[in-house]
Amino acid sequence: MLRFVATCAALALPAATEAQTPSEIVVTALDRHVLPGYAALTEATGALAAAAEADCAAESLDLRSTYHTAFDAWMGVAHLTFGPAETDNRFFALAFWPDARGATPRGLSQLIANADPVVEDADAFATVSVASRGFYALEFLLYDDTVSAAGDPAYRCALVRAVTADIDLTAQTLRTDWEGEFAGLMRDAGTNDRFQSPEEALRLLFTSLDQGLEFTADLRLGRPLGSFDRPRPNLAEARRSGRSLQQVTLSLEALSELASILSAGQPELQAALAMAFDTALDRAAAVDDPVFAGVGDPLGRIRIEGLQVQVGDIRDITRADLGPALGVAAGFNALDGD
Amino acid sequence: MRRRDLLAAIGAASLAPGLTWADARDPAYVSAARHPDGSYRLCGLDRGGAVLFDLPLPDRGHAAAAHPTRPEAVAFARRPGRFAIVLDCARGVEAARLTPPANRHFYGHGTFSSDGGILFTTENDLDTLDGRIGLWDAANRYARIGDIPSGGIGPHEMVRLPGSETLVVANGGIATHPDSGRTALNLATMRPNLAFLTPDGQVRDLAELDPALRQNSIRHLAVRRDGLVAAGMQWNGPKGEDPPLVLLCREGGDRDLLEADPAAHRSLQGYVGSVSFTRSGSRVAVTSPRGGVLQVFDVARRALSAVLREEDVCGLSPAGADGILVTTGRGISGVFAGDTLAAPVTSVWSWDNHVIAVG
């Protein structure tokens, strides 16, 4: 049965006949969510780096298409900000957003203006500011009118190759660390120093779900929405490559999969979460505005706000029902607010 | 209150002989905590962070103030609480209980005058939502003797400049009323400041942030022996802006914002829960319980020098010359020296936001 379900679409509900132990939930999440997610990511980043080697031109259809595929794959694991993603700031090295102070275009423009030789060596490039690395930097190099045309084309080509190779290297390192060590520590939680109990490992997964929902509601949707008096369409995530709504949809799909696994021992809760995610995904499909350009238009805005409200509702269920059901209360001080 | 009475009160404490901190099993620190049975206590900790004693509190605490000489610790209720308990840490009993006037609540922090004669508490005036500083006579069973304006709205932590009676108040700028819980009532107009006050309420200096940072609520403070103040902020503006969260400031002097590289900075999640200098003053530490991260900065270089990831980390206090005692909501306490947590103690206690050095 489990094998059958695993081959179904992301939203399929794993069967649940009895409550699962924290340890069982963690193992399921690793085997069916985390590790497949990183495997898919490295496959896509490998293709991206190869495409840049073959043709580094910003207009290259192959490069652009592999960029989208790799970014899509990243969205499958972008909420897993703990463990190997924390080491050496790998998370931010792949995904530095939001960028309120414009560090990404500024950093890239400086590299280009100086024809900085740091692009010639992968180890050296890994020391460059995270703002000039990762998917969001690559988006500027491929799609931003200014950055994609700045300076010497040969240097820009080298920079595109350096950024894509660095994305691939970081993703491969993440996968290696997960498969080689961290997944094992989570599986054996309670018998090692890193995790004193299975609940501790489970809490990391729960927090990823909760913070992933918060990120999508407050940043992916909240930043472009701004306020009614001051909508901010230019703050939409990855708008240059037309991905803003896509990012929301993909994050909801990944979070829905994780929520389904975490709630598998609670059939009613699992069904409630599935319904809430379905509603959110339906609303996302109805937005029909790929870069949230319509946040200033009353009718367009109301659809995007409705989506944001629904993501907030999912988060309410997660915090009020799923967290207590799993026995993973949020931090005593983290919740304090003073 | 009249200046003459106030000055008479400061100085009175030294006339009262009695027990010292050595009589209280010599704790190095006190911290509020939650016990697994759900009760709230004030605990005395040794130098390594192990529990020496615990005393009951009526509800959740926040920070505490240690009397400079007498073995007394004042535990403050968590905002918007209305109790502060003076605990006799030698006898293990409640020595006095402070209740603010009817239209007031505490913000969770307080500090003593240099000789311990007066206790100062940060308070909210519920009629005006202006910040006030309550004054209590420590030589007379902590009788209320008056109050002064805090210099702003939402005063939170308060410290005293070493070698002076000048109070430094973090006016967080956020107006709240218990009727609406912790909801911020003035986000659109908030304007936090760092107020340098005389104990009789004169404003000696007022440090404000750049207008673009006015939604950065100044909450937590530490002060170095030479008067350098470090303030920790909490961002209430749009998410994703990630403004600087640490301010270095002197009365009447330069203001410097301290910030790690973008990735490390972002891990604070816009929220600083505690600030502490080392005793030597060469380093300053900040925690974010939301990010589960401790960052230590080299003060002279204004640069990040060490990072510790520890779930729900918050409490900070100086340890030895160059170390920092660190506590977490998950029961961990230990001294962070160099770049590791040496010999951490794991306990059943959920350590609350602040751990206070005594003696």
Using DSSP bridges, classify how beta strands B274-277 and B72-77 pair: parallel, antiparallel or unpaired.
unpaired
Report pLDDT digits (tens) over A72-98. Answer: 999 999 999 999 999 999 999 999 999
Say if residue A158 is in the same domain as residue A131: yes
Burial class (CB in 10 A: 0-12, 13-18, 19+), A69: middle
Query: Does the beta-carbon distance from A218 to B62 stay under 8 Å?
Result: no
What domain range is A263 assigned to?
197-326
Say if residue A168 is in the same domain as residue A31: yes
Report pLDDT digits (tens) over A106-125. Answer: 999 999 999 999 999 999 99
Q: Collapse the DSSP code of A252 into the 3-class scheme (helix H, G, I; strand E, B; otherwise coil) and give the result.
A: helix
B291: closest chain A residue by CA:
A334
Which pair of tokens denotes residue A277?
């995610």
In A, what residues contact B, Cβ < 8 A? 86, 89, 91-93, 96, 98, 100-101, 103, 129-131, 218-219, 222-223, 226, 235, 331-334, 336-338
Of the listed ranges A4-13, A301-310, B180-189, B343-352, the least confidently predicted one is A4-13
Say if residue A42 is in the same domain as residue A140: yes
Say if residue A97 is in the same domain as residue A223: no
Q: Which of A96, A226, A338 sits opposite B353 (nearest CB)?
A: A338
Q: What is the H or E stretch that residue B83 is in?
A: none
Among A195, A228, A251, the domain boundary falls at A195
Distance CA B331, CA B344 (A): 10
Say if residue A147 is in the same domain as residue A262: no
Q: A187: closest CA among A8, A29, A39, A16? A: A29
- Find out whether A28 and A3 touch, Cβ atoms under 8 Å: no
Report which DSSP code applies to B269.
Answer: T
Among A144, A166, A195, the domain boundary falls at A195
Distance CA A81, CA A205 (A): 10
- Find out whether B341 and B325 touch, Cβ atoms under 8 Å: no
Residue A329 confidence (pLDDT):
74
- Find out whether A223 and B240 touch, Cβ atoms under 8 Å: yes
Phi, psi values for residue A115, rounded to 5°: 45, 50
Say if residue A272 is in the same domain as residue A129: no
Chain-centre distance for alpha carbon B113: 15
Q: Identify the band that residue A10 occupies on the pLDDT scale cut at 50, 70 and 90.
A: very low
Residue A246 reports pLDDT greater than 60 = yes
Q: What is the H or E stretch that residue B88 is in?
A: strand B84-88
Among A180, A195, A210, the domain boundary falls at A195
CATH of the domain at A172: 1.20.1420.20
Say if residue A176 is in the same domain as residue A215: no
Complex prediction ipTM: 0.89
Identify the structural domains of chain B with CATH numbers, from first to last.
Answer: 3-357 (2.130.10.10)
Burial class (CB in 10 A: 0-12, 13-18, 19+), A195: buried
Distance CA B110, CA B147 (A): 13
Distance CA B311, CA B55 (A): 26
Residue A5 reports pLDDT greater than 50 = no
- Find out whether B171 and B149 touch, Cβ atoms under 8 Å: no
Report which DSSP code applies to A173.
Answer: H
**Percent of chain A scoring above 70 in pLDDT:** 95
Q: How many CB pairs under 8 A join A and B?
A: 80
Say if residue A68 is in the same domain as residue A47: yes
Distance CA B176, CA B189 (A): 13
Which pair of tokens denotes residue A39?
């495997």
- Within 10 angstroms of residue A191's Cβ, the number of other Cβ atoms is 11
Phi, psi values for residue A13, rounded to 5°: -90, 125
Query: Does the beta-carbon distance from A130 to B240 stay under 8 Å?
Result: no
Query: Does the beta-carbon distance from B289 to A331 stay under 8 Å?
Result: yes
- Would you give per-residue pLDDT tens digits along chain B (359 residues)? 555 566 555 654 443 458 888 888 889 999 999 999 999 999 999 999 999 999 999 999 999 999 999 999 999 999 999 999 998 888 888 899 999 999 999 999 999 999 999 999 999 999 999 999 999 999 999 999 999 999 999 999 999 999 999 999 999 999 999 998 889 999 999 999 999 999 999 999 999 999 999 999 999 999 999 999 999 999 999 989 999 999 999 999 989 999 999 999 999 999 999 999 999 999 999 999 999 999 999 999 999 999 999 999 999 999 999 999 999 999 999 999 988 998 899 999 999 999 999 96
Chain-centre distance for alpha carbon B249: 17
Average pLDDT for chain A = 93
